[in-house]
Chains A and B, each alone.
Chain A
C-alpha cells in the first residue's frame, strides 16, 4: 500500500488516473454544461419569488416588524397620554392618515392609532420569542427522541404526550397566575412551556425518516460521530418542515398572548399590547366599536400574515405537495 503510507505517492497515482479520465470528462461537460450550482435553498427562493402569497404576507410582516421596532416612525403620539375630557371615545377621523385621531380614541382618551402601533411590539416579541424557545427546546427533544430511539424515545415521547394533554391556553393561564407581575418575558415563558410539543413531534418524525437515509449510513461508514451526523446531515434535511410548522405556530402564539391578556392573565396595563386593548374595549363595544375593531384587525392581519408565509414557505420547500 504505497499510497497509504506516503501521501506524495498517493497523489502521483491520482495524477496518472487523471489522464485516463480526461476523455470521459469532456463528454460530461458538454451535456451538463448549462447548469449553475444551485442549492435547494436557492431553488426554494426562486419558487418563493414567484408566489403572491409570499409577497403579500411578506409586505404585511415587514410593516408590522418595522412598527414593532420603530413605532415612532409611524406616530409621535404617546400611547399612554390620556385626555379623558377632550377625547373620551371620540370616533375615528378616517381622513387623518397617521394622525393621533385617525382611528379615534378609547375610553381613557388615548389615541387608538398610537396604542395599536406601539402594541405591535409586545405582540411580535412574544410571538417571536415563544417560537424561538419552542423550536429550540421542542426541536432538541424531538431530535434526541428520533435519533436515539429505544428508551430515550419512549421517555421523551411519553413526556411529550403528557404535555399534549394540557391545552396551551389552560396551561398558560394556570402557570401565569402564579406571577403577580407579568412582563413580556413571563408570558413568553408561560406559552413556551406548553407550546413545544408540536415541534417535538414534527422533528421526531422527520429525524426518524432521515436517519435511515443512505447518506446517513454513508456518514456512519466513514466513521462520523453522533454530533456530526445529527447537525451536519440530519438537521439541515429536517429544517424545512420545522420552519413551516414554526412559522404557522408563530401566528397562533400571538393570538394566544392576546387571549391571555384579554382574560386578564397575560400582559398588564402599563404594557401596551393588542390583547390588553381588546380586553379594555369589550365593555364599550356598542358605543365605540372602533376601539376594539382596530387592534383586533391588526392582530388578525399579523396572524394571517404568518400563516400565509408558512404556507408559501412550505410550497417552496416541497413543490410536490401542491
Chain B
C-alpha cells in the first residue's frame, strides 16, 4: 500500500497515494461501461487528488463582490481501496462533512479531482453522473431530518428504484423494499408506516436501507451514529460491519468519535482546518501517532475506565480552532501547537512520511504533515 510507494519523491505533492490510471472513456456509453466494471478487492476504487472547496464570502445585495473565502477543504488527497473502511476524523469545521458532499458530487469542487475507477466524477453530468450515483451512496447523520416526513417507509426506500428504474422492474419493487427492511433488521410489515413512528436507531436503519437499495459499491457515512444513543450505536455499527461483508462495500466513515472510528476503520485520516494532518492504518494512527494534533486529539478522548487513564498523559490544547476563512500561515495547527517554531509559520508541511522515519520499518513511518513529527504514545498499551 502507501508505504511501499516511492518515498524518495518527497517533492510529490500527494505522496501518500497511488498512481491514478485515468480512464480514457469519452462518450457517455464508454463512461458507463467503465463505471460498471468490477474492481478487485484491495485495489483503489476511489482516488481523491488535491481536492479543494472554497465557499466565497460575498458582500452587496444586487452586485455581489467576493470579499474572501471559507477554505473548508484545502487540498485533500487520499485513496479508498475496495472493501476497506477509511475513517476520517476531525473536529467541527475541519471540512470532513464537506469532503463527504464533494465525494457525493453534491457540491462542486473548486479544484481537484475525485477519480472513481479512473473516471473523474467532478467533471461528469447527466446520465454518467446518474450512473455514478448508483454506485456511491450516502448515509446521513441526523436520522430525524434525513427521511421525508410525508413519505411512507416503503416510498422512501423504494424511491431509488423510481429514479433508477433499470435496477428493479416495477412489479418487483415492493418485494425488494421488504427484503431491504429485513436486511437492516426492521419488520417488513412496517412498509406503510411513516418515519415519525420510529425511534432514532430504527430511522437510521431506514436510511441505511435506502443507501443499500441500488447495490452501491461505496457508501459515504457522514457521522452515521453520532445522533444515536450509546446502546443503539453499537447495534448500528455492527449492522454496518455485517452489511460491508455481505455486500462487499467500501466505506468512507466520517465521524468525530475517535473510538468508533478506530473500531470500524482499516485506515484513518485525521483532518484539521481543511487539510489532512495524518493518515495511516488504524494502529499507525492510534498507537503510533506522529502529528501533534492527532496526539492531542487522542489524549483528550475520555476513556470509560478509570484504571486505563491513570498512566495516560493528557495534552490539553489551548484556544480554539481558528476560522477557516482566515487560516494561519504555514502549518495550520501551529497556533495551538506546543512545538511550533518559526519554520511552522513559513512553510506548509507536506503530507508525507517524515524524514526521520523514512525508510525505517516502524509503524511510525506513515504520512504525517508535521515538520517536527515524532512518535508519542498517548492511548496507552493496547
Say whether, besides A32-B198, A222-B160, A223-B129, A16 and B148 are in contact (CB < 8 Å): no
**CB of A45 closer than 8 Å to a CB of B:** no
Contact assessment for A218 and B185 in the assembled complex, using a CB-CB cutoff below 8 Å? no
**CB of A162 closer than 8 Å to a CB of B:** no
Say whether, besides A13-B246, A32-B202, A37-B197, A223 and B133 are in contact (CB < 8 Å): yes
Contact assessment for B146 and A218 in the assembled complex, using a CB-CB cutoff below 8 Å? yes
How many B residues are at the interface, by size bracket?
Answer: 35 or more
Contact assessment for B187 and A25 in the assembled complex, using a CB-CB cutoff below 8 Å? yes
**In the complex, chain B residues whose CB is within 8 Å of the CB of A224:** 159, 163
Give residues 196-211 of B contacting A (CB, 8 Å).
196-199, 202, 207, 210
Query: Which of A18, A20, A35, A222 interacts with B242 by CB under 8 Å?
Result: A20
Contact assessment for B38 and A4 in the assembled complex, using a CB-CB cutoff below 8 Å? yes
Query: Which of B130, B184, B187, B243 interacts with A223 by CB under 8 Å?
Result: B130
Taken residue by residue from 1 to 42, chain A's Cβ proximity to chain B (1 for < 8 Å, 0 otherwise) reads as 101110100110111111011101100110010010111100
**CB of B147 closer than 8 Å to a CB of A:** yes
**In the complex, chain A residues whose CB is within 8 Å of the CB of B198:** 32
**In the complex, chain B residues whose CB is within 8 Å of the CB of A14:** 179-180, 182-183
**Residue among B168, B183, B202, B207 facing the most chain A CB atoms (10 A cut-off):** B183
Say whether, besides A154-B62, A218-B140, A17 and B183 are in contact (CB < 8 Å): yes
Say whether, besides A40-B149, A215-B145, A221 and B38 are in contact (CB < 8 Å): no
Contact assessment for B248 and A1 in the assembled complex, using a CB-CB cutoff below 8 Å? yes
Contact assessment for A28 and B202 in the assembled complex, using a CB-CB cutoff below 8 Å? yes
**In the complex, chain B residues whose CB is within 8 Å of the CB of A28:** 185-187, 202
Contact assessment for A214 and B142 in the assembled complex, using a CB-CB cutoff below 8 Å? yes
**CB of B334 closer than 8 Å to a CB of A:** no
| Interface of A (DSSP majority class) | helix
**CB of B106 closer than 8 Å to a CB of A:** yes
**In the complex, chain A residues whose CB is within 8 Å of the CB of B192:** 37
Contact assessment for A25 and B194 in the assembled complex, using a CB-CB cutoff below 8 Å? no
Query: Which of A215, A222, A233, A237 interacts with B133 by CB under 8 Å?
Result: A222
**CB of A220 closer than 8 Å to a CB of B:** yes
Contact assessment for A38 and B194 in the assembled complex, using a CB-CB cutoff below 8 Å? yes
Say whether, besides A1-B248, A213-B145, A223-B164, A40 and B150 are in contact (CB < 8 Å): yes
**CB of B134 closer than 8 Å to a CB of A:** yes
**In the complex, chain B residues whose CB is within 8 Å of the CB of A215:** 145-148
| Bound-state Cα–Cα, A24 to B232, Å | 12
Taken residue by residue from 280 to 311, chain B's Cβ proximity to chain A (1 for < 8 Å, 0 otherwise) reads as 00000000000000000000000000000000
Taken residue by residue from 195 to 234, chain A's Cβ proximity to chain B (1 for < 8 Å, 0 otherwise) reads as 0000000000000000001110111111111001000110
| Residue of A whose beta carbon sits closest to that of B134 | A223
Contact assessment for B186 and A25 in the assembled complex, using a CB-CB cutoff below 8 Å? yes
**In the complex, chain A residues whose CB is within 8 Å of the CB of B185:** 21, 24-25, 28
**In the complex, chain A residues whose CB is within 8 Å of the CB of B163:** 222-225, 228
> What is the minimal beta-carbon distance from B156 to any residue of chain A, in angstroms?
8
Contact assessment for A25 and B182 in the assembled complex, using a CB-CB cutoff below 8 Å? yes
**In the complex, chain B residues whose CB is within 8 Å of the CB of A13:** 246-247
**CB of B215 closer than 8 Å to a CB of A:** yes
| Bound-state Cα–Cα, A28 to B197, Å | 13
> What is the minimal beta-carbon distance from A218 to any residue of chain B, in angstroms?
5
Contact assessment for B138 and A218 in the assembled complex, using a CB-CB cutoff below 8 Å? yes
| 17 more CB-based (< 8 A) A-B contacts, given A14-B182, A222-B159 | A4-B36, A17-B183, A25-B187, A28-B202, A32-B197, A32-B202, A37-B152, A37-B193, A40-B150, A40-B196, A219-B148, A219-B159, A221-B133, A222-B137, A222-B160, A224-B163, A228-B162
9 smallest beta-carbon distances between A and B, as pairs: A214-B146, A24-B185, A223-B133, A236-B150, A214-B145, A215-B148, A21-B185, A223-B130, A37-B192
21 residue pairs of the A-B complex, CB under 8 angstroms, read: A7-B168, A16-B246, A17-B242, A17-B243, A20-B242, A21-B185, A32-B202, A37-B152, A39-B152, A214-B142, A214-B145, A217-B106, A218-B146, A219-B148, A221-B104, A223-B134, A224-B159, A224-B163, A228-B163, A232-B159, A237-B149
Chain B interface residues toward A at CB < 8 A:
36, 38, 62, 104, 106, 129-130, 133-134, 137-138, 140-142, 145-152, 159-160, 162-164, 167-168, 176, 179-180, 182-187, 192-194, 196-199, 202, 207, 210, 214-215, 217, 235, 242-243, 246-248
